Chain A
Amino acid sequence: MKENNNKNHNGNGHTEISGAEAVINILIAEGVETVFGYPGGAIMPIYDNLMNVEDKVTHILTRHEQGAAHAAQAYAMVTGKPGVCLATSGPGATNLVTGIANAYLDSVPVVFITAQVVSTLIGTDAFQETDIIGVSMPVTKWNCQVKSASEIPEALSKAFYIATTGRPGPVLVDITKDAQIERLNFSYSKCDYIRSYNPHIPLHMKEIESAAILINHASRPMIIAGHGVLISHAEKELMMFAEKTGIPVALTLLGLSAFPSSHRLYAGYLGMHGNYAPNVLTNEADLLIAVGMRFDDRVTGNLKKYAPDASIIHIDIDAAEINKNVKVDVAINNDAGETLKSLIPLVNNNSYEKWIRAFRICDKTEFDTIIKNEIKPESGEIKMGEVVKLISDLTKGDAVIVTDVGQNQMVTARYYRFTEPNTLVTSGGLGTMGFGLPAAVGARLGSQKKNVISFLGDGGFQMTIQELGTIMQYNIGVKIVILNNSYLGMVRQWQDMFFSKRYASTEMVNPDFAAIAAAYRMPAKKVSERDELEPAVREMLATDGPFLLEVTVEKETNVMPMVQPGASVSEIKLTH
């Protein structure tokens, strides 16, 4: 045996290398340039080989595996390429689970590679052994365990193929330590076929034609578009379809940035804290055209009272989403872009001036009762909305916006004006507090944009605050905006509205965030007065490298409007 050589040619044109080196070669073959992760005992062979290719693959050492998972997801969201995340066995793998679930609910392609104890110890409760295949099964699109080096190429090629095709999602490949060390005759080709999995669904013109008939005969139609539009890169098709038909476009939270906020047909943001017009008018519409969205309960409110007068056309690539929450009249189980492309020639040029006016009237009501005071308050403490609005105005949409979860997220979704696709990174389905800071790391590394701005609450920031270390180590130029109300704001809002203002465990005593930033050698500014806000924001945006801006905002304020739990979207409350 030629054990001392790193690479042996066996005469078949194949190269004999270790399983760990095969993993690295595959990452390079799949075009992976950045990976996020955290080493540990079982994954050491992979890390050792990663060190040999530092010029090709950059590894970002986060401060916790959850941070690596969120960063990899955000990287995938802004680049459109799969994120890759490494973790060791046992606690390394279990620490990923929140991040995996988050990527699963938001359909983001991330390839998770976890290490496993040596194969002879599996099932024995060995040190740092967990059944991560069993644990991750309900939150991955696919997972598999590899116990010998020769299985690595097939497992990883399937992983990349499954993660990135159809409705994307996270996959997990668990590789035993001995499989990483064992040698194999390496050759690699990308996977493009799995018998039991067909992401390329043929278009059925009959359904497209039925949809066109409904569209051409509607008098109060509304497009409700979601993340599927962005995943499918169908923003142009959506725009062409909307402009030809003259139908207003409302967006879900994850659909934000798929259609410009400034467009005359933009109908607003849907959902529990969305805009007044699209929520109220959902129940007046006679046709809903749902594109790449899944009728989440935060969008529909009470299903029994949802869109009672509307026929529904549902375009979604995931067959399991069709008729899951809402019964639809025409189901098109296909890619958003492909479907819109074939639909556009069949629909009539049209305009719905009277119907659009109904949206503008609602918009005025919302502006007068809520927005005006949120973005341009005359006096009193600083409001979250005015911070977001100011940053929106100063960046003019030329930024990637990252949010945490809660009031900071809802206010950002409401008041930031998105102009370009894929410029919002947020945790939608899972609503993961602690997402915002590590996601900003991944977004900054994936995006060409200078300004990657993360809006965080004081609660969520402290859930993953350790990632300041990652930002320092790699000098990642993220702008951190902490909207500090010294409360878990959204929970406090619900306590205010539904639990008789009994603020159970929602008030927070916070540290000096600027001092923490200083310890991480990060410039920081704390703002409590309105006249200090704009200069501080300008300073932040002019700074190369990371910057932390803490804004003391109004303590007890509720994000309105709100579709209360159990209420219909048309019962959305402007005031409480």
Chain B
Amino acid sequence: MNQEYTLSVFSEDHIGILNQITIILTRRQINIDSITASESAVRGVHLITIVVRTTPELIQKVVRQMEKVIDVLKVFAHTSEEIVYQEIALFKVPTKVMMSGNIVDQVVRNHNGRLVEVTPEYMVIEKTGHKDEIIELLRFLEKHGILQFVRSGRIAITRQVKELHSYLKEMDTATRSKIPEESIYN
């Protein structure tokens, strides 16, 4: 049975890693629902967060194949229950529309939206939350007219207690380290 997984891929900050990661999904014909990349809490270590739908068996194989990529440090596959996650969306709507009735009020109070820019011509609304909440706001605003809409990929924090630091330390102990510790984890 297919289910949703959030992959957290921790890697060195080298050119081409994203490509090396995504071709593994391409070969397995796994579609990417969303993808984001940024630096992690460990300086120099990048985190790519990928949301996919696949089977429990295949996700494990994919994780091992991703960990096989030389510059990848560690890969986790989590179900939605195991993580705290958010997405962000921006909506550009005509000010004229927003000012009719109590639309702004509903956006702010009912949908937890936030006005980030207001001009006489348009307003930009920011909404952070789960995909379904964002889609709910989208459906609401669609009725009134939207100029632009964009939704980010998922970002996620794991609920597990063991942090990347300890994995890195373990890996380092296992490897014949030639580099003083402070230069690895700073």
Chain A residues at the B interface, C-beta cutoff of 8 Å: 133-134, 137-138, 141-142, 144-145, 162, 192-198, 200-202, 318-320, 322-324
Q: Are A318 and B68 in contact (CB under 8 A)?
A: yes
Q: Are A162 and B176 in contact (CB under 8 A)?
A: no
Flag whether B65 is at the interface (Cβ < 8 A). Answer: yes
A-B contact pairs, 22 of them (CB 8 A): A133-B16, A137-B19, A137-B20, A138-B23, A144-B14, A193-B175, A194-B70, A194-B175, A195-B12, A195-B73, A195-B184, A197-B71, A200-B174, A201-B174, A319-B64, A319-B67, A320-B61, A320-B68, A322-B64, A323-B61, A324-B61, A324-B64
The smallest beta-carbon distance between A378 and chain B, in angstroms, is 51
Flag whether B171 is at the interface (Cβ < 8 A). Answer: yes
The smallest beta-carbon distance between A434 and chain B, in angstroms, is 25
In Å, the complex CA distance between A318 and B61 comes to: 12
The smallest beta-carbon distance between A176 and chain B, in angstroms, is 14
In Å, the complex CA distance between A455 and B177 comes to: 46
In Å, the complex CA distance between A197 and B15 comes to: 17
The smallest beta-carbon distance between A164 and chain B, in angstroms, is 13
Flag whether B172 is at the interface (Cβ < 8 A). Answer: yes
Find A196's partner among B15, B64, B70, B178 (CB 8 Å cutoff).
Answer: B70
Which residue on chain B has the smallest CB distance to residue A201?
Answer: B174
In Å, the complex CA distance between A193 and B73 comes to: 13
Flag whether B6 is at the interface (Cβ < 8 A). Answer: no
Find B19's partner among A134, A145, A198 (CB 8 Å cutoff).
Answer: A134
In Å, the complex CA distance between A319 and B64 comes to: 7
Which residue on chain A has the smallest CB distance to residue B172?
Answer: A195
Find B175's partner among A138, A142, A144, A198 (CB 8 Å cutoff).
Answer: A198
Interface string of B147-186 (1 = CB under 8 A from A): 0000000000000000000001001101111110000100
Interface string of B59-85 (1 = CB under 8 A from A): 011001101101111000000000000
In the complex, chain A residues whose CB is within 8 Å of the CB of B19: 134, 137
Q: Are A195 and B20 in contact (CB under 8 A)?
A: no
A137-B19, A196-B70 are known contacts. Are A323 and B174 too (CB-CB below 8 A)?
no
Flag whether B11 is at the interface (Cβ < 8 A). Answer: yes
A133-B16, A137-B19, A138-B23 are known contacts. Are A196 and B68 too (CB-CB below 8 A)?
no
In Å, the complex CA distance between A318 and B65 comes to: 9
Chain B residues at the A interface, C-beta cutoff of 8 Å: 11-12, 14-16, 19-20, 23, 27, 60-61, 64-65, 67-68, 70-73, 168, 171-172, 174-179, 184
In the complex, chain A residues whose CB is within 8 Å of the CB of B23: 137-138
Which residue on chain B has the smallest CB distance to residue A162?
Answer: B70
In the complex, chain A residues whose CB is within 8 Å of the CB of B176: 192-193, 200
In the complex, chain B residues whose CB is within 8 Å of the CB of A145: 15
Interface centre among B19, B27, B175 (most CB of A within 10 A): B175
Number of A-B contacts (CB under 8 A): 62
Q: Are B70 and A320 in contact (CB under 8 A)?
A: no
Q: Are A197 and B177 in contact (CB under 8 A)?
A: no
Q: Are B64 and A137 in contact (CB under 8 A)?
A: no
Which residue on chain B has the smallest CB distance to residue A171?
Answer: B70
Q: Are B71 and A196 in contact (CB under 8 A)?
A: yes
Q: Are B65 and A320 in contact (CB under 8 A)?
A: yes
The smallest beta-carbon distance between A574 and chain B, in angstroms, is 35
Q: Are B171 and A198 in contact (CB under 8 A)?
A: yes
Find B11's partner among A137, A196, A320 (CB 8 Å cutoff).
Answer: A196
In Å, the complex CA distance between A162 and B70 comes to: 8
A195-B12, A196-B11, A323-B61 are known contacts. Are A141 and B178 too (CB-CB below 8 A)?
no
In Å, the complex CA distance between A193 and B168 comes to: 14
In the complex, chain B residues whose CB is within 8 Å of the CB of A141: 70
Which residue on chain A has the smallest CB distance to residue B26?
Answer: A138
The smallest beta-carbon distance between B139 and chain A, in angstroms, is 40
Q: Are B171 and A195 in contact (CB under 8 A)?
A: yes
For the complex of A and B, 4 pairs with smallest distance between CB atoms: A320-B64, A142-B70, A198-B175, A320-B68
Interface centre among A141, A197, A323 (most CB of B within 10 A): A197
The smallest beta-carbon distance between B24 and chain A, in angstroms, is 9
The smallest beta-carbon distance between A357 and chain B, in angstroms, is 39
Which residue on chain B has the smallest CB distance to residue A196?
Answer: B73
A137-B23, A319-B68, A323-B61 are known contacts. Are A198 and B12 too (CB-CB below 8 A)?
no
Apart from A195-B12, A195-B172, A324-B64: 10 A-B pairs, beta carbons within 8 A: A134-B19, A138-B23, A141-B70, A194-B70, A195-B175, A195-B184, A198-B175, A319-B67, A320-B61, A324-B61
In the complex, chain A residues whose CB is within 8 Å of the CB of B15: 145
Which residue on chain A has the smallest CB distance to residue B44?
Answer: A195
The smallest beta-carbon distance between A203 and chain B, in angstroms, is 11
In Å, the complex CA distance between A142 and B171 comes to: 19
In the complex, chain B residues whose CB is within 8 Å of the CB of A196: 11-12, 70-73, 171
A193-B178, A196-B72, A201-B174 are known contacts. Are A323 and B60 too (CB-CB below 8 A)?
yes
In the complex, chain B residues whose CB is within 8 Å of the CB of A324: 61, 64
The smallest beta-carbon distance between B178 and chain A, in angstroms, is 5
A195-B12, A195-B184 are known contacts. Are A202 and B64 too (CB-CB below 8 A)?
no
Q: Are B175 and A200 in contact (CB under 8 A)?
A: yes
Which residue on chain B has the smallest CB distance to residue A321?
Answer: B64
The smallest beta-carbon distance between B41 and chain A, in angstroms, is 16
Which residue on chain B has the smallest CB distance to residue A320?
Answer: B64
In Å, the complex CA distance between A160 and B88 comes to: 44
